[in-house]
Amino acid sequence: MSGETPITVIGNLTADPELKFTDNGAALAKFTIASTPRVFDRETNQWKDGTASFFRCAAWRQVAEHVAESLTKGSRVVAFGRIRQHNWETPEGEKRSMLALDIDEIGASLRFTNVTIDAKRPPAAASGDNPWDTGTAPAPAAAGSGEAPPF
């Protein structure tokens, strides 16, 4: 992760995750996390919602499938990943860019609710590969390829 910008975001999903598969069969879950700070208003002596930040997120492969099966609109999550800039050109020749969060780890927040964890271990890989390797690296041609981002 050298040279990348790691970030942890705590917030709520704005919609159900959208699960897609690339041409080579890699799972991709796309979703948005809204993170809204609570601020104390000294004039009214009450807590209020601050300005929300919205983070477009992409989870790949096994993490993507787990996100799609486990999380829904409104789910409060703690997500860790890397900020990526995606640059592309529209069919009309206009240059576009956006920042997005490539998810490495994500889980339900237990601050306001209880969850049940399915703690089954994945089956051991036949070729001696690490069965815990989630393969979260983005698919090739995701960033800086001139193609539209995976969003």
Q: Where are the domains of the chain?
A: 5-108
How far are the Cα atoms of 28, 108, 110, 118 from residue 113, in angstroms, in the given order? 27, 9, 5, 16
Handedness of CA 65, 67, 68, 69 (dihedral sign): positive
pTM over 0.85: no
Write out pLDDT tens, residues 66-97.
999 999 999 999 999 999 988 999 999 999 99
Q: What's the whole-number mean pLDDT along residues 9-31?
A: 95
% of the chain with per-residue pLDDT over 70:
78
With contact defined as beta carbons under 8 Å apart, do 39 and 50 qualify? yes
Domain covering 5-108 in this structure, CATH number: 2.40.50.140
| pLDDT for 133 | 55
Which region among 4-13, 40-49, 57-66, 124-133 has the lowest average model confidence (pLDDT)? 124-133
**DSSP SS3 for 11:** strand
| pLDDT for 4 | 81
| pLDDT for 119 | 72
Q: What is residue 146's DSSP assignment?
A: B
42: region left, alpha or beta (phi > 0 left; psi from -120 to 50 alpha): alpha
Q: What are phi and psi of 47, to 5 degrees?
A: -85, 140
Query: CA-CA distance, 131 to 111, in Å (whole number)?
Result: 30
Helices (H), the chain: 61-70
| pLDDT for 143 | 44
Confidence of residue 124 (pLDDT cuts 50, 70, 90): low
Please report, as a single letter, which amino acid is at residue 64.
A
Q: What's the whole-number mean pLDDT along residues 48-77?
A: 94
